[in-house]
Amino acid sequence: MKPHFSQLLEGNNLSFEETKALFNACFQEDVSDTELAAILVALKMKQPTAEELAGLAEVIHTSSPFQFELGIPAMDNCGTGGDRSNSFNISTCSAFVLAGAGITVAKHGNRRISSQTGSADVLEELGVSLNLTKSQLKYMLKENQIAFLFAQHVHPTLKQIAGVRQKLRTPTIFNLVGPLTNPVALSSQLIGVYSNEALPIVAKSLKTLGRKRALVIHGAGGMDEASLQGENKFILLEDNELKDGSLHPEEVGLSVYDNQKIEGGDAKVNAKILLSVLNGEPGAYLDTVLFNAAIALFATGNVDSIKDGVEVAKDSVFSGNAKARLNALVQYSQEIKREVV
């Protein structure tokens, strides 16, 4: 570990293989919290590269006991966090809209780290189990089009690092790499990032990791989600090529809202907001979810345009399909809990 750590301290980039060696050592050796924090800060100071992201993602993949092939196309819409926007759980809510539209979503997420309320916190508040077994996750993904993969559960080797990240309270390489580490074999992906600088890094990492199709977006006003506030920058991975683009909500028939209109709160507050969206209550919360779900539908290749995706997302909400996917996941979670008791 020490030679590669010294390289980082000197401001030098690591190769894909060097990054794998460094983090394999971190996960296998008796490394202190102080040493882990120093590595994360050193990477942050020099800015992680695409090779470093891909190398770390590969290590996390191979160390997860929850890796599996689903046998059908699956996607994830997990963002990086770290934008300090205090927004509600946009991608979590959008995931149910996607599932209601027939997309299989392996929703990967965590508890709050650099955000106010993480996806795990709000789903737990709603009654979703965070600790389903691999076979239970497979069942839900095939029968319900959505399951939640709690990062701390599916990546037990990262428990110590989660504690270090919580103490640092600042975005690190793990914010960027988190969405790349889903143990389910994904065919497509939507990732929101907290800065324009992170766009090409994450997009190149997705290409290195072999995603067939993906979209990485940075929202107006500095958000790690698509924002209704104005112009959103993105990079589309398609046919093994990276293509830059931008998107304004008015281009797809949605109104402009300031980001302050979509602020959330603690898990209880955000759970109420999520339910209001799935119940079709009009306003900035709903439109933001429709926007993000539409972009995710385009990222999967299931619609020809994001504008078409908005209509598909609306149908998922107003037909009740999106809320039905949440209700089914909650019901299954409660059934599993009763069986254990």
Q: Among candidates 218, 149, 159, which has minimal Cα distance to 183?
A: 149
* Residues 159, 90 within the same domain: yes
Over the chain, what is the mean pLDDT? 93
Report, as an integer, the average pLDDT of 40-48. 92
* Residues 235, 267 within the same domain: yes
Domain housing 237: 75-329
State yes or no: 119 annotated in a binding site. Answer: yes
State yes or no: 165 annotated in a binding site. Answer: yes
| pLDDT tens sequence across 209-222 | 889 999 999 999 99
* Residues 49, 141 within the same domain: no
Backbone angles phi, psi at 213, to 5 degrees: -155, 140
Domain membership of residue 338 (yes or no) is: no
In this prediction, residue 170 carries a pLDDT of 81
State yes or no: 112 annotated in a binding site. Answer: yes
Contact 247, 265 (CB under 8 A): no
CATH number at residue 129: 3.40.1030.10
State yes or no: 90 annotated in a binding site. Answer: yes
- Does residue 107 surpass a pLDDT of 90? yes
145 secondary structure, DSSP code: S
State yes or no: 163 annotated in a binding site. Answer: no
| pLDDT tens sequence across 67-100 | 999 999 999 998 887 677 889 999 999 999 999 9
263 secondary structure, DSSP code: B
State yes or no: 240 annotated in a binding site. Answer: no
- More confident call, 158 vs 90: 90
* Residues 160, 209 within the same domain: yes
What is the three-class DSSP state of 124? Answer: helix
State yes or no: 169 annotated in a binding site. Answer: no
| pLDDT tens sequence across 248-291 | 999 999 999 999 999 999 999 999 999 999 999 999 999 999 99
Domain final residue, candidates 63, 85, 113: 63
CATH number at residue 44: 1.20.970.10
Q: How far apart are CA 91 and CA 204, in angstroms?
A: 22
* Residues 164, 295 within the same domain: yes
Domain final residue, candidates 40, 63, 86: 63
Domain membership of residue 340 (yes or no) is: no
State yes or no: 114 annotated in a binding site. Answer: yes
State yes or no: 143 annotated in a binding site. Answer: no
- More confident call, 147 vs 175: 147
In this prediction, residue 340 carries a pLDDT of 64
- More confident call, 116 vs 290: 290
Domain membership of residue 162 (yes or no) is: yes
In this prediction, residue 178 carries a pLDDT of 87
State yes or no: 107 annotated in a binding site. Answer: yes
Domain membership of residue 110 (yes or no) is: yes
State yes or no: 280 annotated in a binding site. Answer: no
In this prediction, residue 114 carries a pLDDT of 55
Domain membership of residue 68 (yes or no) is: no
User: What tokens were used for 118?
Assistant: 């993480």
State yes or no: 91 annotated in a binding site. Answer: yes
* Residues 157, 112 within the same domain: yes
State yes or no: 327 annotated in a binding site. Answer: no
The count of structural domains within the chain is 2
Domain final residue, candidates 63, 93, 109: 63
* Residues 162, 186 within the same domain: yes
Q: How far apart are CA 131 and CA 138, in angstroms?
A: 13
